[in-house]
Chain A
Amino acid sequence: MFKLILKSSLSSLSIRKGRTALVIVMIAISLWGLMVMQGVYEGMVEQMISNAIRSDSGELSIFKSRFREEKSIELYIHTEKAIEEYLERVENIRSYSKKISIMGVVSSARYSRNIYIHGVNLQQESEHSQLQNYLIDGDFSFGQRERGAILGYNLAKKLKIEVGKKVVVSTQDSYGDITSIKLKVMGILKTNNMTFDDSGIFMSLEKAKKFLSLNGVTQFSINLEDFSRVDELKKDVKSKFQNLELYDWRELYPALIQSREMMVIFNYISYLIVFIIASIGVFGVMLVSIMERLREFAILRAIGTKFSYIFYMIFFESLLMGLSGFIVGSVLGGGTLYYFSIYGLDLTQFSDALSEFGMDAITFATIKVEYFITAFISVFSATLLSLVGPLRFLRKRTPIEVING
């Protein structure tokens, strides 16, 4: 009997080729668009998070207590060596870097700007944050005598300065005295992290220590092997070292978490839209299809077919259309996302606007199994829902009412 039911569904699909193709194309295109939108958007958000983590905080940052609020150079970490030794021992640490970050002023021949001075070890940064990947001009180096600086992209633009030119960086040292240093611009970075691009100057950590008369650092930035164990590490550090504050990236960048949450909402809305489109499409087509075959179903009922068999016939028919649409849509969507995950989606013409939000001009899409599962659930639910109306219509009429027209 099942064979006959399936045959009835397949025959109906093949006889009504135009209708079948229309529904499959409609579902496939909706899913295609949805998956690409979802993968690209998620890719953007993940890149934004990754940029923030890589260029600044790592997954976990250690500061001296109150440093985050007061930004005072006096609130530096005195126990630099001890913390470093501790971090070297902890298994869950993938990489770390130590840095000094304080406010100051930079002057070129014509302009001055408020800045953040970041004293970093480039060797450590290239392993920890791969900062070198953000370099868009010049060298990833502070020069032979470490008297060089690497500037944020927008800051260089505002100062109207190029690689090879000199700038003067001024700030207050740990004694409270004004101090200045002349640095040669060695390179320009574009991290898409606004803090760095608009007002960041990177200089040698050792140079910064001398320049600021500082016997320590202001921040440890740490990446973990297993982020789910971050709280365990925080607790351990706090128990071993006094007067430290530890923040993971979620606490440092709540806006990024909100972006991720927004993305989830956005995805739900997108699925709802596709669900509605697919439902309306399948509903319309199935209604017409059932109406066309109403007499046939009535005959089947008249000669003793249970209503449940009629339901299976119609259900298989729409399920086959839905599944075909899902498969075609998944292949198209998955293929497109795979391409964008390898080669990226080039949005260079919107790069300025995107960088305002911390996004890269080239977005690498993400592909997740969830996309396909959610798409399948959406199509399956839409298919089921679309059958309710036509089946109710069919059930309300007696076979003879329908046969006699």
Chain B
Amino acid sequence: MDSFLRVQSVSKIFNRGEAGESFGLKDINLQINKGEFIVISGPSGSGKTTLLNLIGGLDSISSGKIIFNGIDISSLNETELSDLRRDKIGFVFQAYNLISLFSARENIEYVMKLRGFSQNECDMRVDEVARKLGIVKLLDKLPANLSGGEQQRVAVARAVASKPELILADEPTANLDSRSALELMDMMERLNREEGITVIFSSHDPMVIDKAKRSIILKDGHSLIDSF
């Protein structure tokens, strides 16, 4: 059976052909099945973010292949990558990255609207996700009026609202206190369980790493320890 996501001999070289050329990732191989809840850990600079960016099609691969749902994403053009991200992947960024001009509700329904959901479908889904994440009272607020923890919950809501097949979360708890971090991880774990969404997140916080069912450790962009 084909796996949900396959990373095959992937390397990423920064500043290729220039003075500061360096490897971000070197010959990474990875296989991920649908519905997994995986953490990618490792020290700063180990390539966690780079790997997530490559899987999400946010950055280009120097060599190798990433096969997502049978599609080689390295062969897609910018428009096809946009469509892939819109339809299949939800992103949670370390710095929340909400759209400052939109309210929490508008941020959450944004990707759904991109995908063509009706306003009624958007409203129902936003309310459902907001209830699960405990942010119902925050929906009409602008990001600037939310705390870091609240913003990150809205960001998670945005990522899951359109029911993507994969959520990529880059150090989602890095800017949160321990309690908020654990709460957020519990919520993500619940969404993974209840909605069957595959979740890959990066972290170097042991408390957060413990929540994952599978851990992949990167070191210097090329060492890989995979443990279940």
Contact = CB atoms under 8 A, between A and B. Distances in A.
Interface of A: 1, 4, 7-8, 11-12, 15, 295-296, 299-307, 309, 398-401, 403
Contacts of A7: 101-102, 106
A296 B87 contact: no
A149 to B, nearest CB: 78
A304 B86 contact: yes
B152 to A, nearest CB: 14
B58 A399 contact: yes
A5 B215 CA distance: 40
Given A8-B101, A15-B101, A301 B82 contact: yes
B101 A305 contact: no
Interface in B166-225: none
Contacts of B100: 296
Given A302-B91, A305-B114, A403 B97 contact: yes
B78 interface: yes
14 contacts: A4-B102, A7-B101, A7-B106, A8-B102, A11-B102, A12-B101, A15-B101, A301-B82, A302-B85, A302-B93, A305-B114, A306-B79, A398-B58, A403-B97
A304 B58 contact: no
Contacts of B53: 400
Contacts, number: 67
B99 A300 contact: yes
Interface string B75-91: 00011001111110111
Contacts of B99: 8, 296, 299-300
Contacts of B91: 302-303
Given A8-B101, A8-B102, A403 B93 contact: yes
Contacts of B87: 304
Contact of B83 (A12, A296, A304, A400): A304
A302 B86 CA distance: 9
Q: Specify which of B85, B99, B113 lies most central, judged by the most chain A CB atoms within 10 Å of its CB.
A: B99
B82 A306 contact: yes
Given A303-B91, A400-B53, A11 B101 contact: yes
Given A1-B113, A4-B113, A8-B101, A302 B79 contact: no
A398 B86 contact: no
B97 A299 contact: yes
B7 interface: no
Chain A's interface: helix, strand, loop or mixed, by majority?
A: helix
Contacts of A401: 59
A12 B101 CA distance: 7
A138 to B, nearest CB: 73
B202 to A, nearest CB: 14
Nearest to A297: B99
A301 B58 CA distance: 9
B86 A400 contact: no
A305 B79 contact: no
B111 interface: yes
Interface string B90-115: 11010001011110001000110110
B161 to A, nearest CB: 11
A159 to B, nearest CB: 77
Nearest to B52: A400
B48 interface: no
Nearest to B89: A304
- 5 closest residue pairs by CB, A with B: A304-B86, A11-B101, A304-B85, A400-B58, A299-B97
Given A304-B89, A305-B114, 19 more contacts: A4-B106, A7-B101, A7-B102, A7-B106, A11-B101, A296-B101, A299-B97, A299-B99, A302-B56, A303-B158, A304-B111, A304-B114, A305-B86, A306-B79, A307-B82, A400-B53, A400-B58, A400-B59, A401-B59
A405 to B, nearest CB: 10
A303 B101 contact: no
Contacts of B84: 304
B60 interface: yes
A307 B78 contact: yes
A8 B158 CA distance: 17
Contacts of A305: 82, 86, 114
Contacts of A15: 101
A163 B87 CA distance: 93
A50 to B, nearest CB: 56
A403 B98 CA distance: 12
A349 to B, nearest CB: 54
Contact of A302 (B58, B83, B113, B114): B58
A398 B88 CA distance: 19
A320 to B, nearest CB: 14
A306 B114 CA distance: 9
Nearest to A395: B78
A303 B56 CA distance: 10
Contacts of A399: 58
A8 B102 CA distance: 7
Nearest to A300: B99
A299 B102 CA distance: 13
Nearest to B98: A299
